[in-house]
Amino acid sequence: MKNFNLTSAFSKYFISIFFLLLSITARGQASMGTLTVRGEAGPSQIFRQVKVARCDRNTRSCSLVEYFDLNQAKNLSPGEYIVGFENSIYPGWVVIQSGQNTVLDLIKLNVPSALSHEGRVRVFRDFNSDMEKNKLFFVQFYMGRPLFRLSEYSFGDLYLASPGMIDLTLRINYDICNSFKMRNSENDEAVDICLNAAQAKNWRDMSVLYQFQGRDSMERSLMRGQYLQNLVSEAGDRRQILMRRHLVSAPMKGTDFVSVFPGQYRFLSDANINLVESVRAGSINENFD
């Protein structure tokens, strides 16, 4: 009768399990794609991470959200993604395919020469341009809210929210309309807002909810980079929100630079509000549809 080697049997068992798990992992990775965002964060771009949201355009929903560093290949499930870096948004869908690496390049923008001697400069998304407006409508249509958490800092504009800060974008949605429509409200303006948000057939239809020129309800003139968005309050009333400039970095020196996705951006001197320049970053190839 042969002796049964218990140690040898367990070794063979665990080796078999190890190679089985290795095979399953390899098959899973083979079904993934990767995304690499190449570039260098500017000195005043504090967070320095890429943010992506995987979306289903048929249901107008975005569920899977991931963060990762620049210049690294990130494994992602195949699908369509909204991609951003430091509050700049890629102009349209980024498609991840199984077994393929998608590469996006950030555009490095130096402070224009007219502002290079300024002690403090702000750079923000230029909502006077169709490109940045389209990004705004696109993200709101599919995500139901902005891609990034934004807070108002002591310098008076919006930038990525730090831990513990109030995320002002939590209220930038139309979720209240799901119950509001059942109340038989006599507030026609609020009803129209909800209908416009709910019945939009594509991202272009969201434009009626925004105002980029003129004055707000308190007769304040809109400054460059600001806009108004029509929402509905929990009480079922029309509410107009003033959204301040969307910075893509903290205020910076005139000798610094920022890295952004293709789009249109404005550089503004803190010391002289008339010293401002609009700059296009890269060639614009829209992929919103």
* Residue, of 15 and 47, whose pLDDT is higher: 47
Taking the domains of the chain in order of start, what are their residue ranges?
A: 33-281
- Residues 244-271 pLDDT 10s: 999 999 999 999 999 999 999 999 999 9
SS (H, E, C) the chain: CCCCCHHHHHHHHHHHHHHHHHHHHHHHHHCCEEEEEECCCCCCCCCCEEEEEEEECCCCEEEEEEEEECCCCEEECCEEEEEEECCEECCECEEECCCCEEEEECEEEECCHHHCCCCCEEEEECCCCHHHHHHHHHHHHHHCCCCCCEEECCCCCEEECCCCCCCHHHHCCCCCHHHHHHHCCCCHHHHHHHHHHHCCCCHHHHHHHEECCCECCCCCECCCCCEEEEEECCCCCEEEEEECCEECCCCECCCCEEEECCEEEEEEECCCCCCEEEEEECCCCCECC
- Residues 85-128 pLDDT 10s: 999 999 999 999 999 999 999 999 999 999 999 999 999 999 99
Q: Is the pLDDT of residue 8 over 60?
A: no
Q: Is the pLDDT of residue 19 over 90?
A: no
- What is the Cα 4 distance to its own chain's centre? 62
